[in-house]
Amino acid sequence: MYRFMSEYDYVVVGGGSAGCVLANRLSGEHEVLLLEAGEPDEAREISVPIAWVELLRGEYDWGFRTVPQPELHDRSLHLAQGKAVGGSSSINAQIYERGHPSDFDRWASAGNEGWSYESVREYYERIEGGELPGYGTDGPQRVAEQDGPSPLSEAFVDAAVECGVPRLDRSEVRHAEGAGYTHVTQKNGKRHSAADAFLRPALDRPNLSVETGAEVREVLFDGTRASGVRYVQDGETTRARATGEVILAAGAFNSPKLLMLSGVGPADHLRAHGIEVRADLPGVGRNLQDHLITWVCYESGTGDTYDDADSWPNALRYLLLKRGPFTSNGGEARAYWRSESGLEAPDVQFLFAPAHIERNGLAETSGPAFSVGTSLVRPESRGRVTLQSADYAADPVVDPQYLTRDDDLETLVRGVRKATEIAEADALSPYRGDRIFPSERGEEALVEHVRENAVTYYHPVGTCRMGADEMAVVDDRLRVRDVDGLRVVDASVVPTIPTGNTNAPTLAVAARGAALIAGDD
């Protein structure tokens, strides 16, 4: 038995998107402790929409990397994950996409009761707020239109329609079909993170405790029941008891890592690191899925790009009026496309940026440019997360095994070819100069371009997936198998990756998970 310093009904590990939703809902009636390894989200750059690129690889990013990926010329890719209150919702590009209805129906058809789109839609409507038709209007998470997007973004939408992609009305709810402006988690010209939406309104509750800089080292057990956690804060070790449940909401990399450090995972792997096996769950860390994205880029002959967005006039306009390029998330428009006829849903997303983008970063450029990103949104490749050692301070070993399925490479190459067609359509001709990259157009050149330039879209999911088979980690109520009092509620429980950006589905998973825990689902 452990000596506990404090006692709560629920201990939530991870103050990201899912953790903020859980803390808000559960602290309405229960004593809740929320533990976040990062620091408070107080930096000014977090609130400025276009500044998200500056947050990557900084103090608010875990800074994980993949192992070298053979299908990407042995490159090791940076894996941005938010390490702050609000998690990745505090450093992402704010795109809000529910996903395609068939995403959730696939989860339900695999035996996960209550996870069809019709079931999950209720939770979307509960969390969404704003004035956009088709979305929820009274929820805490503000979903908004882009504020004054660049004329190039409008031209991109026209170009996609010219190339056969259906047009979306600007206020149509996003079901991953067609071309239109992105909807964003913004309010009054600022980022509206999960911390803004869910956590701050609950901070005055006496039964909610939030600790930052608190790195959880393991889940503690009494027999087979999770009884609390051990965490380190300011160099001191503390134990907190959970009389109800311990809930992991640490994300697709840290949740499986923490399970394995606590003795829950593949038995052989745990024993190899000297960890006592509490529950042999071979699926922990498996089933990793992620979206890849690669860009085509063109010079632009106009001044409507954002390559000089950080000018003093733009900064002053933002400070005084909350208007101008600083309110942009950078990816102002998108389109979804089916690369082959007969598919149940689009398998490619195009993201438009009125700027010079290379490998998900603003590139040094001698002049204005625009870029079209091609993302593989229904990948077949599956990777894994394993332990480097039994030391919590060691990063997890992340091997996404990108493009190990031939279909993934073929789809991405078809997408790049279509992105080039859209970029060279008549609608963009007033803005288009010479193509910067890829420099060659042949099939082999496009394959080489993908292998050399594709990067993660920062959407990892699936490493603690829900299901009923032996490789499932949690059941459809998100309870960890073969132990009691322990759940995982974050993107890691997703069985198959959503068709599109993953922040909104993570919020919906957390909202339903909170309802399951509270007993009001």
- What's the confidence (pLDDT) of residue 303? 73
Residue 78's identity, in one-letter code, is H
User: Looking at the domain assignment, is residue 510 inside a domain?
Assistant: yes
Same domain, 303 and 364: yes
Domain CATH number, residue 166: 3.30.410.40
Place of tokens 């860009």: 295
Same domain, 500 and 410: no
- What's the confidence (pLDDT) of residue 2? 47
On the question of pLDDT at 270 being above 50, the answer is yes
Domain CATH number, residue 248: 3.50.50.60
- Of residues 36 and 443, the one with the higher pLDDT is 36
Query: Exposure of 469 by Cβ count < 10 A (0-12 exposed, 13-18 middle, 19+ buried)?
Result: exposed
User: Looking at the domain assignment, is residue 189 inside a domain?
Assistant: no
Domain end among 428, 453, 478? 453
Specify the 3-state DSSP secondary structure of 253.
helix
Same domain, 374 and 412: yes
Q: Indicate the length of the chain as a whole number.
A: 521
- Of residues 106 and 175, the one with the higher pLDDT is 106
- Whether the CA torsion 206, 207, 208, 212 is positive or negative: it is positive
- What's the confidence (pLDDT) of residue 311? 83
Count how many domains the chain has.
Answer: 2
Same domain, 302 and 430: yes
Same domain, 279 and 353: no
User: Looking at the domain assignment, is residue 478 inside a domain?
Assistant: yes
Domain end among 418, 437, 453? 453
- Alpha-carbon torsion, ordered 21, 22, 28, 32, to 10 deg: -130
- Whether the CA torsion 185, 175, 420, 456 is positive or negative: it is positive
Q: Determine the longest span between alpha carbons in the chain, in angstroms.
A: 71
Mean pLDDT along residues 263-272: 98
User: Looking at the domain assignment, is residue 399 inside a domain?
Assistant: no
User: Looking at the domain assignment, is residue 54 inside a domain?
Assistant: yes
- What's the confidence (pLDDT) of residue 361? 61
Domain end among 453, 470, 490? 453
**% of the chain exceeding 90 in pLDDT:** 86
On the question of pLDDT at 189 being above 80, the answer is yes
User: Looking at the domain assignment, is residue 63 inside a domain?
Assistant: yes
Rounded to whole angstroms, the Cα distance separating 99 from 88 reads 18
Same domain, 317 and 432: yes
Which pLDDT band, with edges at 50, 70 and 90, does 170 fall under?
A: low
pTM of the model: 0.96
Same domain, 83 and 208: yes
98-107, 362-371, 438-447, 507-516: segment of lowest average pLDDT: 362-371
Same domain, 371 and 449: yes
- Whether the CA torsion 254, 257, 261, 264 is positive or negative: it is positive
- What's the confidence (pLDDT) of residue 306? 84
Same domain, 163 and 301: yes
User: Looking at the domain assignment, is residue 114 inside a domain?
Assistant: no
Residue range of the domain that includes 518: 1-98+194-288+460-521
Specify the 3-state DSSP secondary structure of 311.
coil
Same domain, 425 and 317: yes
Same domain, 300 and 280: no
User: Looking at the domain assignment, is residue 202 inside a domain?
Assistant: yes
Same domain, 416 and 476: no
What angle separates helix 117-127 from helix 101-109, to the nearest 10 degrees? Answer: 130
> What residues are annotated to the active site?
459
- What's the confidence (pLDDT) of residue 320? 84
On the question of pLDDT at 191 being above 70, the answer is yes
- What's the confidence (pLDDT) of residue 440? 83
